A = this chain, B = another copy of it.
Amino acid sequence: MASFSISNIESWERFYRANFINSLTGFKSVNLIGTVNELGQTNLGIFSSIVHIGSNPPFVGYINRPVKAAPHTLANIQATGVYTINHIHPSFVQQAHQTSAKYAAGISEFAEVGLTPEFKENISAPFVGESIIKYALSLQQIIPIKLNDTFLVIGKIISIHIASEVVSEDGFLQLDKAASVCSNGIDRYYTTELIKRYPYAKPGIEPQKIS
């Protein structure tokens, strides 16, 4: 085992530290967020900081980097109050990753990378046509994280569009069969394989494998 103190971490070269710390937090849900600006111009960005906030009401959060580093998605969400989150599958990982390039405001990443904007009734933000698991959100709150000028953006799910065969009888979504990818660090993408499902844990009871 190697051990590193905060002094070690602070002394690391910038990109070495970014790689290390970004991958230390583990595998991440990586998704495309679709928005429009006030002129209706579409925008698409890749985000790997989606976090479950609650099921009832259905709240989802993501961390937005400082405004200078990642301005467009946040500005569009503030302007319109609506956005979509779209799972990424192996067939378009390359296009999804390419949305992380710094395109100018008003340039649509959909056209630049070759993904299909898809509009659904009553939702002004575009979904990704190629994604088989996607949902729209209504902005609830933007919480500034003053420690490093980032933001926790929280939305309420207002509609879900999903390939029917992914949904289990108990509501669980078989994301491994849907081949939704996860990421690690800033540039690696992964498929997954189920180890086990465990039942609800209670004190003093040895858990049994469900399947």
Contacts and interface: CB of A to CB of B under 8 A. Distances in A.
Q: How many copies does the complex hold?
A: 2
A20 B167 contact: yes
Interface string A132-174: 1101000011010101101010101111111110011011110
Contacts of A98: 201, 207
A21 B94 contact: no
Contact of A187 (B63, B141, B163, B197): B197
A64 B6 CA distance: 25
A17 B56 contact: yes
A160 to B, nearest CB: 4
Interface string A1-35: 11111100110101111111111111111110000
B147 A140 contact: yes
A184 interface: yes
